[in-house]
Amino acid sequence: MYADLHIHSHYSDSTRSPEEIVKKARELGIDLLCVSDHNTTAAYNELIPLCKENQIKLIRGAEISTSFEDKEFHVLAYDFNFENKEIIDICKQCETVYADIDIQLIKKMSVDYKEISIEDFNSYNRNLKNGGWKGFDYLKSKNLVIDVPSFLISSVIIILNPKVHFHQ
């Protein structure tokens, strides 16, 4: 039996749809799968029937962000009840934190990059096929980042030291 217990979908920081993940798992002979997206279980509405159709055992999971002593950690949670209010609340809280970070980043960058604005960002609809998060997708649409690593580097630099300018 082959398994992949830590893969992400386009609901998180990958560009693969649940359908593409299941297709690739079949091609690789994977019999056991867990999509552990960051702070969301949104992929499972599609994954459950797809895995049943393809005879792949599915373990429900998520990669939940947390912090301890000012350091960020990602905890893999497996086989929990998706109707558990505490887990849902933790995921929603994490999504809110990351959405706030996106807003801080866009506000700070809009001072130096006239092609972006918080108003434009707030009305922007994320394209799941691009992967990443809304802030990443927005900046990618403006040709200010190329991929998730460049987004993460620019985010950390700008949030920690707003006087630093990041150019591709």
CATH of the domain at 12: 3.20.20.140
**In terms of C-beta density within 10 A (0-12 exposed, 13-18 middle, 19 or more buried), how is residue 149 classed?**
exposed
Q: Could you tell me the CA-to-CA distances from 145 to 56, 142, 163 in Å, in that order?
A: 36, 8, 18
Does one domain contain both 59 and 122?
no
Task: Print the domain residue range for 142.
Answer: 86-160
d(CA 34, CA 6): 6
pLDDT of residue 94: 86
Residue 18 burial (CB count, 10 A): 22
Does one domain contain both 41 and 9?
yes
Give the type of residue at 15. T
pLDDT of residue 73: 84
Give the type of residue at 68. F
Last residue of a domain, one of 59, 82, 105: 82
pLDDT digits over 2-27, tens only? 999 999 999 988 889 999 999 999 99
pLDDT of residue 31: 95
pLDDT range class, residue 145, cuts 50, 70, 90: confident
pLDDT range class, residue 152, cuts 50, 70, 90: low
Does one domain contain both 109 and 77?
no
Q: Give all strands of the β-sheet with 30-35 in edge-to-edge order.
A: 2-7, 30-35, 57-58
pLDDT digits over 50-103, tens only? 999 999 999 999 998 887 888 888 889 999 887 888 888 888 888 888 888 899
Does one domain contain both 92 and 117?
yes
d(CA 123, CA 138): 10
Q: Could you tell me the CA-to-CA distances from 73 to 84, 115, 123 in Å, in that order?
A: 22, 33, 31
Q: Name the residue among 164, 92, 103 with its Cα closest to residue 134.
A: 103
| pTM (two decimals) | 0.75
pLDDT of residue 72: 81
Number of domains in the chain: 2
What are the two backbone dihedrals, phi and then psi, of residue 151, each rounded to the nearest 5 degrees? -65, -45
Token readout for 7 is 């893969």
pLDDT digits over 31-46, tens only? 999 999 988 899 999 9
Residue 165 in any domain: the answer is no
Regarding predicted confidence, which is higher, 107 or 153?
107
